[in-house]
Amino acid sequence: MTTLFTGYRLGDLTLPNRVVMAPMTRVRAAAGGLATPSMAAYYAQRATAGLIVSEGVQPSAIGQSNPGTPGLHTDEQVAAWRPATEAVHANGGRIFAQIMHGGRVSHPDTTGMQPVGPSAVPAVGDVFTPTGPQAAPMPRALTTAEVPEHARSYAEAARRAIDAGFDGVELHGANGYLISQFLSSNANLRDDHYAGSIANRIRFAVEAATATVEAVGAARTGIRLSPGGTFWGVAESDVPELYTALLAELARLEVAYVHLEATTDEEVLLTLRRAWPGTLVINPVVPMGPKQTGRDDADHWLALGADLISFGRAFIANPDLVERLRGGLPIAPVDESTYYQGGDNGYLTYPAHQYEA
């Protein structure tokens, strides 16, 4: 019988369990988008996960969404990440880098540049900047000639990720960021072959995935998707058809996994499970929603055919989450005020479970 603690073969990796640490922005990077010793310690503390997916890492300067986030587009950034990947491996873990291009979800005060997107349609809501939240600005619509360059940026960052010691990469195709913007029917109002029909709306995602597979191999390439999600004001028409078509192209590429968020109803997710022949990672709850993923959610989705289960916020306050889940131990609550404040408090200060003598 498959359980959360049954091993799993993912590409060339043997995972000791089916618990995935989901990517979570923590804004602890140093100036220049450099990973820090504290970041190395943070990920190493959680190395008992079957797989860690890092926080979103920008593939280019213009791809940065939030201040205080790390990059993988300079040699200095590659060098800064190596102690983190080495620390995870020394503790017996495996780690993928999530490659995240923010697209229109950015601000000139963060990058010094006007954000870009598929169309000149601003995101809905306030974006983070070095001086606090500000209204999302108007992005510049990418020209048709520019789009392939941004698709290739995922692959270029993936090459750097492997050089930095990561075991693979996850393309961030979810939550209203650039790939998601191209999939959208209201953020993507282009009149070229990247918009309109389903085949056109998935084109950018497929080009990014194809370039990444060519750069680092299919076994080292995953992608995260949020079907039907409405983050940052995106909307998607024809959700089952859109994602079934995208999964068919990803299956042709034989990517290592698809990581789905529960941003649509269960029946649609089950339809996508049936459409996807490869490894499926499920995040059973809506990111940043009222509920955290628990053991019952994991068991439910394993029974429905998911291969791996991702946990987000529970990993923040529980570096030993795998052991707590295995032993039915209490899951410590997280202090939300420390999500993004910087420093080691609320980052390295959560202890492992203390057994009573």
- Which are the catalytic amino acids? 177
Joined tokens for residue 352: 């492992």
Q: Tell me which residue has tokens 């089952």.
A: 240
Does residue 345 form part of some domain? Answer: no
Phi and psi at 33, nearest 5°, equal 70, 35
Phi and psi at 9, nearest 5°, equal -95, 120
Closest CA to 64 of 129, 122, 147: 129
Cα separation, 98 vs 237, whole angstroms: 26
Kind of pairing, strands 19-21 and 308-311?
Answer: parallel
Q: Global pTM? A: 0.97
Does residue 214 form part of some domain? Answer: yes
The amino acid present at 163, given as its one-letter code, is: D
CATH number at residue 319: 3.20.20.70
Residue 334's pLDDT band (boundaries 50, 70, 90)? very high
Does residue 354 form part of some domain? Answer: no
Residue 191, domain extent? 8-338
Identify the helix (H) or strand (E) that includes residue 274. helix 266-275
Does residue 346 form part of some domain? Answer: no
**pLDDT tens digits, residue range 303-316?**
999 999 999 999 99
Residue 177's pLDDT band (boundaries 50, 70, 90)? very high
Task: Give every CB contact of residue 337 below 8 A, 6+ residues apart in sequence.
Answer: 346
Does residue 355 form part of some domain? Answer: no
If one compares 355 and 269, the residue with the highest pLDDT of the two is 269
Does residue 343 form part of some domain? Answer: no
Mean pLDDT of 172-195: 98
Does residue 248 form part of some domain? Answer: yes
Cα separation, 78 vs 162, whole angstroms: 9
Joined tokens for residue 133: 């939240």
